[in-house]
Amino acid sequence: MTAKQKRMISILIPAYNEEEALPLLYERLTGVIDTLEDYEFEILVVNDGSSDGTLEVLRRLREQDPRVCYVNLSRNYGKETAMTCGMDYARGDALIIMDADLQHPPEKIPEMVHYWECGYDDVYARRMNRKNESKLKAWCAETFYRMLQRSTKVNIYPNVGDFRLLDRRCVNAIRQLRENQRYTKGMYSWIGYHKKEILFEVGDRVAGTSKWSFRGLWGLALEGLTSFSTAPLRLAAWLGGVVSAFAFLYLIIILIKALAVGDPVAGYPSMMCVILFIGGIQLICLGIIGEYLGRVFNESKRRPLYFVDEYNGIKERNEPGEAYSKEPRNQ
């Protein structure tokens, strides 16, 4: 087989302040991909506005090994956007997404590639353990996924993250979804195609610290809920209906009471309770509507998702949806 006929696999790594982890990742990753001789590889790192020496590390790695390419974003946009940028620049027939901190073991790559060759388009890795997360975080994640799944028709897979192999047609599909506020996990299942699950054990972060804060996770949770479901809006309407029904009942009771026995000016506490209760519900519902309105506002600006400071690789970015040379495969 000549080099030209080899199919290419891109490894996409979003990196934010990962100067210590990247060299370790490079060593372990190349140890694995060097054994897969039937494929050409591209290691595409998206530097998401790091403030440490990540960019210098990438420059050095690229000089050492031309398989390493990198995109330097103009600022920190967050992992979701960094991944989208990576999808725009990746050249491979397949794309494997993994974290820079080696929590996603590169040793799983041959298995992913095997299933890709079997005809699967999206080989996703499910975590077997959440042991290195606090109990609270694990509980929150579980509850959130259960809620999300109940509120939407799109399949949400618990314990599945971004560690996965995507065929070119999945990549091209996701690239056409250009919303600004992104919830990639929902997109993977929304686009469909043939999926295959494999299992992996989450490793410990090799260096640096996790960039997620509790606030960040809360934001992501809201993002997930509002980008894939309008159930909260329906809930607001439902709540409104129930409260009005009770209010109406109460009104009748008061009327009858006033007619039958007359009403001395009592009832201040009950009136306050009702006013405060209904006021609270109104505010909650307004908040829900506001959340969706905010999304509409943000999307209506139609801004580009990101700006690139520098790209050091082989090919310029392709427009979303543009097909590559790959022939359709027989399933």
Which residues of this chain interact with ligand UDP, rule CB under 6 A? 14-16, 18, 48, 76, 78-79, 82, 99-101, 103, 205, 210-212
Name the one range near Mg ion by CB under 5 A: 24-32, 95-103, 185-193, 269-277. Answer: 95-103
Using CB under 5 A as the binding rule, whether residue 103 contacts Mg ion is answered as yes
Q: Which C-beta is closer to Mg ion: that of 127 or that of 196?
A: 127
Q: Which C-beta is closer to ligand UDP: that of 217 or that of 281?
A: 217
80's contact among ligand UDP, Mg ion, none, with CB below 5 to 8 A by partner kind, is none
100's contact among Mg ion, ligand UDP, none, with CB below 5 to 8 A by partner kind, is ligand UDP
Q: Which C-beta is closer to Mg ion: that of 17 or that of 81?
A: 17
Q: Calculate the CA 146 to chain-centre distance.
A: 16
Q: How many residues bind Mg ion (CB under 5 A)?
A: 3
Q: Which C-beta is closer to ligand UDP: that of 35 or that of 51?
A: 51
Residue 152 beta carbon to ligand UDP: minimum distance, rounded to whole angstroms: 22
Q: Which residues contact 170 (CB under 8 A, 6 or more apart)?
A: 121, 122, 188, 191, 193
Residue 80 structure tokens:
């979701």
Q: Which C-beta is closer to ligand UDP: that of 15 or that of 55?
A: 15
* 74/47 Cα distance (integer angstroms): 9
Residue 234 beta carbon to ligand UDP: minimum distance, rounded to whole angstroms: 31
Q: Which C-beta is closer to Mg ion: that of 48 or that of 101?
A: 101
Q: Is 265 left (phi over 0), alpha (psi -120 to 50) or beta?
A: beta
* 42/96 Cα distance (integer angstroms): 10
Q: Which C-beta is closer to Mg ion: that of 99 or that of 162?
A: 99
Beta-strand ranges (E) seen in 48-93 are 68-73
Residue 323 beta carbon to ligand UDP: minimum distance, rounded to whole angstroms: 27
186, 227 contact by CB (below 8 A): yes
Name the one range near Mg ion by CB under 5 A: 60-68, 94-102, 217-225, 251-259. Answer: 94-102
14's contact among Mg ion, ligand UDP, none, with CB below 5 to 8 A by partner kind, is ligand UDP
Using CB under 5 A as the binding rule, whether residue 17 contacts Mg ion is answered as no
* 193/104 Cα distance (integer angstroms): 23
Find the binder of Mg ion among 42, 88, 101, 121 (CB under 5 A). Answer: 101
Q: Cβ-count burial of 268 within 10 angstroms (0-12 exposed, 13-18 middle, 19+ buried)?
A: exposed
Name the one range near Mg ion by CB under 5 A: 5-13, 39-47, 92-100, 278-286. Answer: 92-100
Name the one range near Mg ion by CB under 5 A: 57-65, 103-111, 300-308, 318-326. Answer: 103-111
Name residue 184's beta-bridge partners. none
- Residue 306 per-residue DSSP state: -
Q: What is the dihedral of CA 219, 308, 56, 78, to 10 degrees?
A: 0
Residue 174 beta carbon to Mg ion: minimum distance, rounded to whole angstroms: 22
Residue 118 beta carbon to ligand UDP: minimum distance, rounded to whole angstroms: 28
* 232/226 Cα distance (integer angstroms): 8
Q: Which C-beta is closer to Mg ion: that of 141 or that of 231?
A: 141
Residue 215's identity, in one-letter code, is R
92, 6 contact by CB (below 8 A): no
Q: Which residues contact 16 (CB under 8 A, 6 or more apart)?
A: 47, 48, 49, 50, 54, 76, 79, 82, 211
Beta-strand ranges (E) seen in 204-249 are none
Residue 25's identity, in one-letter code, is L
132's contact among ligand UDP, Mg ion, none, with CB below 5 to 8 A by partner kind, is none
Report helix, strand or coil for 138: helix
48's contact among Mg ion, ligand UDP, none, with CB below 5 to 8 A by partner kind, is ligand UDP
Q: Which residues bind Mg ion (CB under 5 A)?
A: 99, 101, 103
